[in-house]
Amino acid sequence: KKVINLMVPYFVFYIIFISLKLLFSKYVNTEMGISEIINILNRPISPFWFLYALMSLFTITPILEKLLKNKKYIIMMVFISLKLISLFVKTNLFFLDSIMNYGIYFYLGKFINDNVDINKNKNIIASIIFFITAMCYYNIIEFVPAHLKYIISIIFAIGGIYISINIFKNVKKCKKTVDENRNKCYYIRVAADKHG
């Protein structure tokens, strides 16, 4: 179901995008042709690569969970291993490359989502620290050694995933509270109307 939900918009918007680029080729910055349509399943263009990568991960993750009996730490180790392999090996098949490159971030999100506590105050403090650190880092990035950049990018990814999940969980919690309060107010009004 997830694959269908992602691939239908992927194909539709991809083809519309390429068609418009071909139709208005005189007015675009980057010209595209039939080769981009032919490579729709192997070399997706920006910004549609993201949908394709998500589809790849939604396909492989349940298979891994079933094969490894949902042992989260082992699955995490598989994705970490794939990420390390991706530093040295490129398959030139986007389906496999996206699993190897982005699987760790996808599964980290799932892992953190299942284990993170919703704490509004911690979330606000963590967000402030994260954004200040990120701003400082991107001001000194040119002085950071190449091998450290990779480690720091993973730390930022984990921080970003944690904060994003926490924010969305808090928004969902707030919405639920607002809906419950609205329902309570409605029933109080109905009860008040009945009793005059």
| pLDDT one-digit tens code per residue, 22-61 | 777 776 666 666 777 777 777 787 778 888 888 889 889 9
Is the model's pTM score more than 0.75?
A: no
pLDDT digits (tens, 9 = 90+) for 63-101: 999 999 888 889 989 998 998 898 888 888 888 898 998
| Nearest-angstrom CA–CA distance, 64 and 9 | 26
- The answer on pLDDT for 192 being more than 60 is no
Q: Which of 101-105, 154-158, 184-188 has the highest mean pLDDT?
A: 101-105
